[in-house]
Structure 1
């Protein structure tokens, strides 16, 4: 796989509008970029149904974003299917190498993704809420291979991308990240000695826990008591 390493030097005086120069202006920064693997079990993404191509990405185009606490802005696009952050350099698409706890914030849409180790590998999760308790969302898109009809009684089906249901994860007081429990009993048990207070609050406020906004409301209350 093609790799490019961009190494920062504090002595660089020449400024440029290119991504490379933007990175070079950051003192002490070293970032590795890698070329994407567009193959899907021997089939390229282009072969999938045109109607589902957009599902692979968070946004149609590349959006202004900030990397960690750097001052400069870059143009990134989150490839949900590949779970990679893309950008274009010299007409080629590259992926930003993942670094644990790295954050990418898309400025125009106000959405932030964080690199977290999940199931033994580094993955991008969206930060929904951050405090003593943090809530994250993992998005996933899968590729379903089409089928060619072999008889007159069968119907051919095009290959397509399918967006799976979002999965939510939580950390409490910097504990290990876990999948958000679906059951009411297991959910409230997360809050330990404050579980009864949280349960009472949710009941009084008529919070269903079915929406991310509902969960965030509960977490805000937990952080306040």
Structure 2
């Protein structure tokens, strides 16, 4: 079994803790792995709403080929981080390239990836919708922090900053290259390198909506056959 470098397994009486203002260092035996999860920055102002796309609750997770004794996690879609609690402190888990984190209760799997899109390279978590060596389909979930407004009179209160869900971004992955999900059959034929006539027939017969997630999945699965 692989040694866990992603998050911390707590073995009572076998952990050594040392910390500064930003980092908690943990050495755990007998596995001997060493991990440096970053402590979550706490906002010093009131913000309305929540940055957690799936709710504030920490959920059980499973990670293939890794120990089952891992912390419950939750996804912070504003910070693009997986969070866990140790005692009363909140931490971000280490990002490990290619690690797939499955939330059984949510029926959702996130993958930690470094990916490039529109000239920008980012390391973060994407939801796996189709996982295939030919073409994979991912969804990027994101929360934005919007600015509140100041009252211009003495009768109304200032409005706090607030979290607002951004539109989901759907990405096609092929050989570690990422493309935005196509808008129509012509774009799809170019991205997937397939015959447009065959693709048109499939789209029409299945009434594919290029903006509907379930239809996106259906289309990619068809291409992969």
TM-score normalised over the length of structure 1 = 0.78
Say if 1:141 and 1:163, in contact at 8 Å, map to a contact too. yes
Q: CA offset at residue 30 of structure 1?
A: 4.6
Q: Work out the number of aligned pairs and report it.
A: 199
Structure 1 match to 2:40: 36
Say if 1:65 and 1:73, in contact at 8 Å, map to a contact too. no
Q: Which has the higher helix share?
A: 1
88, 95, 98: which one pairs with 1:101? 98
Q: 1:127-161 deviations in whole A, cap 9, x for unaligned?
A: 01111211101011111121121247988433211
Distance 1:220 1:61, change over 3 A: same
- Distance in 1 (CA, whole Å) between partners of 2:33 and 2:24 is 14
- Contiguous gaps of at least 5 residues in structure 1: 13-23
Structure 2 match to 1:63: 59
Structure 2 match to 1:3: 23
Distance 1:214 1:57, change over 3 A: closer
- Distance in 2 (CA, whole Å) between partners of 1:89 and 1:77 is 13
TM-score normalised over the length of structure 2 = 0.78
- For residues 1-225 of structure 1, the aligned pairs below 5 Å read 2-7=22-27, 9=29, 12=30, 24=31, 30-39=34-43, 43-44=44-45, 47-49=46-48, 52-53=49-50, 55-74=51-70, 75-118=72-115, 119-131=120-132, 132-151=134-153, 156-172=158-174, 174-224=175-225
- Distance in 2 (CA, whole Å) between partners of 1:175 and 1:121 is 13
Say if 1:198 and 1:218, in contact at 8 Å, map to a contact too. no
Runs of 4+ in 1 over 6 A off after TM superposition: 152-155
- Distance in 2 (CA, whole Å) between partners of 1:177 and 1:29 is 33
- Distance in 2 (CA, whole Å) between partners of 1:105 and 1:73 is 14
